[in-house]
Amino acid sequence: MKLSFTVAIALGIVLSGVSPAHAETDPFPGVEHMGEIPGTRISSPAWSQQAQWEATSTYQDYLAQGCPEGSGRAIAVDVAVMVWSNYCVKTWRSQAVIRAWEKYYSDEAQGRATAYEQSLAWNRANPGKQKCFSYGPLTSPDGGTTSGGVCANAVSAEDVATDVTSSESAPSVTPNPSETAATSTNTVIRSENPDSDSQSNELTVTDALPESLQLVEADRSLPAVAVRLLASLPRG
């Protein structure tokens, strides 16, 4: 049975920026976020080694020219014939979308903090017991759904008595959820959209924003040769 797959990996890179004057003007209408920009792809001959391909004038000219404003570089390899390709992908997002993501992450953090405070309050009122509280569901700007629960540590009767005594001589301090992350249990369940039925033998490494990547498509298997190839790819 022929195995097909597509893998995308986030790398630390320098992306082409979008100037404030043009931040709300889509430079690539019709191209989805992280989609390939037509006319930017270059490819090696079949059965090429990566080092050989990157030493060619074609590749060097691609690097020198760079990607258009509002895009970043990507590299892909078709492991069936060992063809290396380089192209530009759209990284531009409108300010409205950026603000929507900022609000989503803020709401998620607030939901976790509120659930933690609720769990801690219940545990203090019921020494020796523990109750988890949930937050969400929250809908992300790309349509994904996030929900989860937070369980504060159980509180013993002795601890409650000690806290009451201490509070009479010292101001109370509200626990910071971020400071208790190591001793609290947080569970986040994220929904995943079904993958398409399209098949590809292309291994893709994308210079892109990590939050925008689908790391592994559903129902894909990675042949041994691809695993070795992936391990040999540069990480910087």
- Look at strands 145-151 and 133-139 and give their pairing: antiparallel
Share the mean pLDDT of the chain.
73
User: In Å, what is the CA distance from 87 to each residue of 37, 41, 162, 192?
Assistant: 7, 4, 63, 27
pLDDT reading at 56 higher than 70: yes
When comparing pLDDT for 81 and 158, which is higher?
A: 81
pLDDT reading at 32 higher than 50: yes
Asked if the bond preceding 45 is cis, omega within 30° of 0, the reply is no
Confidence at residue 29, expressed as pLDDT on a 0 to 100 scale? 95
Whole-model pTM over 0.85: no
Confidence at residue 203, expressed as pLDDT on a 0 to 100 scale? 52
CA-to-CA distance for 154 and 127, rounded, in angstroms?
Answer: 7
Q: Euclidean distance between the first and final Cα of the chain, in Å?
A: 34
Structure tokens at 232: 């040999």
CA-to-CA distance for 155 and 114, rounded, in angstroms?
Answer: 18
When comparing pLDDT for 216 and 170, which is higher?
A: 170
Is the Cβ–Cβ distance between 72 and 89 less than 8 Å? Answer: yes
CA-to-CA distance for 125 and 181, rounded, in angstroms?
Answer: 21
pLDDT reading at 143 higher than 90: yes
Residue 34 — very low, low, confident or very high, per pLDDT cuts 50/70/90?
very high
Confidence at residue 68, expressed as pLDDT on a 0 to 100 scale? 95
The proportion of the chain whose per-residue pLDDT surpasses 90, expressed as a percent, equals 55
Confidence at residue 141, expressed as pLDDT on a 0 to 100 scale? 93
When comparing pLDDT for 184 and 96, which is higher?
A: 96
Is the Cβ–Cβ distance between 70 and 90 less than 8 Å? Answer: yes
